[in-house]
Amino acid sequence: MATKTHRYRRVTPAQLQTISSLAIWIPILFAVFKLKTGDTKFRLFIIFLVFGALVDSFGMIIYYFLSNELFDYHEVFQILYLWYECLFFVWLCFFFLNFQQKIVWRNILLICFSGLFITEFILRIVISSPNDTYSSFIYSFFLVTSSFLSAFALLRIAENTGEILRYSWFWILSGIFIYCFSSFFVDMLSYTAIGRGIWSIRVLANIIQYGFFVVGLLKMNKAQ
């Protein structure tokens, strides 16, 4: 008797990106139920999630239903979102650090990244003269900086918190670390054939990050 051959369809990059765009709504749903327990960093975290969800949804709608010419408008919101993401990650990591001149170094990084993203916005949107090498440098620099900062923040949490697995921000910062650490090599090569070939790694890291966010939100309470 002939055996039946099973064929598995490979998920395309576009389908994987769609999964990532939809997956962000899961931590948002959990965050809604924690609104009354949140402080400033939690509310900024919600803005980060909602901002990203709206930008991704806009891009998904353009891709599937509208003209690709509208991606020029999507690019504006994408840069603004990446700028906010960068500032939020840096601010959040420094919140958990404790050393002399902490505020000075935090502000230096925030100003530095703001200058880089404003330049990127002018080049890509205002004068329509994008520089792929510059863009790759900005995103890679942001991700590698966030990787180190989140790693140090996690070490600080481990020193100050007895049961870190019960601490919500340990999981949220772990998700940020995994995403940034897994993505900065991809972003360095994002405008090359190699970078485009391994772009799925970045999307997968993003989905894993959302999973850590969900765990962190489940463990969040008024005390945190």
Dist. CA 105–CA 122, nearest whole Å: 26
**160-170 confidence digits (pLDDT tens):** 887 899 999 99
pLDDT at 11: 66
Dist. CA 197–CA 189, nearest whole Å: 10
pLDDT at residue 4 greater than cutoff 60: no
**125-171 confidence digits (pLDDT tens):** 999 888 888 998 999 999 999 999 999 999 999 998 878 999 999 99
Q: What is the mean pLDDT of residues 38-58?
A: 93
Q: What single DSSP character describes residue 125?
A: I
Q: In terms of Cα–Cα distance, which of 63, 56, 62 is closest to 81?
A: 56
Dist. CA 173–CA 147, nearest whole Å: 10
Inside any domain, residue 7: no
Q: Which two tokens stand for residue 222?
A: 């008024």
Inside any domain, residue 6: no
Inside any domain, residue 67: yes
Q: Which two tokens stand for residue 1?
A: 């008797």
Inside any domain, residue 5: no
Inside any domain, residue 223: no
Inside any domain, residue 2: no
Q: Which residue has the tokens 């994008």?
A: 130
The total number of structural domains in the chain stands at: 1
Q: What is the mean pLDDT of residues 177-188?
A: 88
Question: What is the domain range of residue 201?
Answer: 13-32+39-218
**18-44 confidence digits (pLDDT tens):** 899 999 999 999 998 888 767 899 999
Q: What is the mean pLDDT of residues 102-117?
A: 97
Inside any domain, residue 64: yes
Q: What is the mean pLDDT of residues 79-99?
A: 96
Residue 207 burial (C-beta neighbours within 10 Å; 0-12, 13-18, 19+): middle
Inside any domain, residue 72: yes
∠ CA 80-224-152 to the nearest 5 degrees?
A: 60
**59-87 confidence digits (pLDDT tens):** 999 988 887 778 888 999 999 999 999 99
Residue 56 maps to which CATH number? 1.20.1070
